[in-house]
Structure 1
Amino acid sequence: MEQELISKKDLLIKTGISYGQLYRWKRKKLIPEEWFIRKSTFTGQETFFLKEEVLERVERIKSMKDDVSLDDMVTVFDKKPDSFPAYLTKEDILKRNIVSSVVIEQFAKKFTLEDRISFDLVCLYYLIDKMLREGKISRSEGELIYQTVEPYLQHVHQKDGVFYFTRKMGVPVVTVVSPPGDAHFDPEVGIIEKYSFHKLFIEVKEISQGGKKDE
């Protein structure tokens, strides 16, 4: 069955983006050049896109742009299998100082030094470790983050998502929002941390490949 097309004009109206944004994203290769389909119409040549494909990509860019640079998004949308390492060993995580031994021992007790740990899990350990080092959470709150976020790791890796850690009257709440969608909280809720999962994956990838970790 032939896929439905959407015109450039209708794309801009439906998504609320500008002509300039669209072509900037094209120059950055966030929207591949081959997605721009030129077709003859009764008014002349017009540009069309595969509707479902381009709408999903534009929404992902919009959901990420406040947390991830356009240059880093190129890595996110890179379909090569080595875009993210699939696994790291416990030994690698400790040697490269990706996550502290305290967090590894708390959350990865079942793994030996040689066992392969999924990259998604490593990212979650890193997030908990980062928040502990910054004094934003307690170790028991780290457990709450782990239990809440872990079931959604594969989904947000593929579709992006945003993690929120909030408190109201001292009570911690962990929320995962998958796009398209915005989170709206009670005005009395304090947002302690907000993190794009793609930003998280990029940070851990850079550290795992030899980049520096913030102290």
Structure 2
Amino acid sequence: MKKNVMLMLAPVVLLILLLLFGYNITNTTNKYTAEQATIVKVIETKAATPATEDKWIRMDKTTRSAGNFAKAEPYAIVEYAQSLIGSPYLYAGITPAGFDCSGFVTHVFDNYNMDIPHSSDMQANEGVPVSKAEAAPGDLVIFTGTDENDRTPGHVGIVISEPGDTISFVHSSSNGGVKISKVQGTRYDVRFLQVRRVL
């Protein structure tokens, strides 16, 4: 009986000791990888930027600047998308805290005041179709879901390669979060459906 009482009191005593001696979780050091630090900087910059309809944030390797542009440039979109590499996958997520594939695309284009729906199926109908060989930075690349036999859109990414090159794209994958992948020579080649130009 005494042993049971002692076991039940031990966590309470430990909690009281921690509170008495001022253990503070916020004193622990946060160490970020370079990619995570970039994400934190993007979030901090967005929070510090006054909200106006025409504002967007362009991330350079060394500087940040705000500008007013009616139409986003493909390379700015690609640069911003790549700055989010390392963000985790989160089903239905649309923030750097976590993205699903279509939420990632929606977030990136929303950063440039472009309305792209949060659905890979709907994104497959945005813009105009272009051939694989014409895929250019900022285009959407559409794939099936994980079942390549079901030929309906289920995954999407943003092209970062030049026309004529092997298609490389940045996307949020349930296997690794936001990352860069290639189409040719991978399972994405089998799952490929189309490229859509939205810019």
TM-score (norm 1): 0.28
Higher strand proportion, which one? 2
Higher helix proportion, which one? 1
Whose Rg is larger? 2
